[in-house]
Amino acid sequence: MKLIRDKPVEVAAATGALVLCLLFGNGWFTTWLFARLGELNVPSALGIPAALPALRLWPLGTTTWWQTITETLAAAFLVAMVALWVSGTRTRHPDAGAARLFLSGWLGTIVAAMSANAIRAVVASFDTRDSIGVYTGHALAALAFGLLWGLVTGWLIAIAAVLARRGVT
> How many domains are contained in the chain?
1
Calculate ∠ Cα 145-32-124, nearest 5°.
Answer: 40
Of residues 45 and 103, the one with the higher pLDDT is 103
Residue span of the structural domain in which 42 resides: 2-56+63-168
Question: Quick one: what percent of the chain has pLDDT higher than 70?
Answer: 94
Q: 121-130 contacts: CB < 8 A, separation 24 or more?
A: 121/48, 121/49, 123/70, 124/47, 124/49, 124/67, 124/70, 127/66, 127/67, 128/47
pLDDT at residue 141 above 60?
Answer: yes
Q: What is the pTM (predicted TM-score) of this model?
A: 0.87
Residue 4: which pLDDT band, with cuts at 50, 70 and 90? low
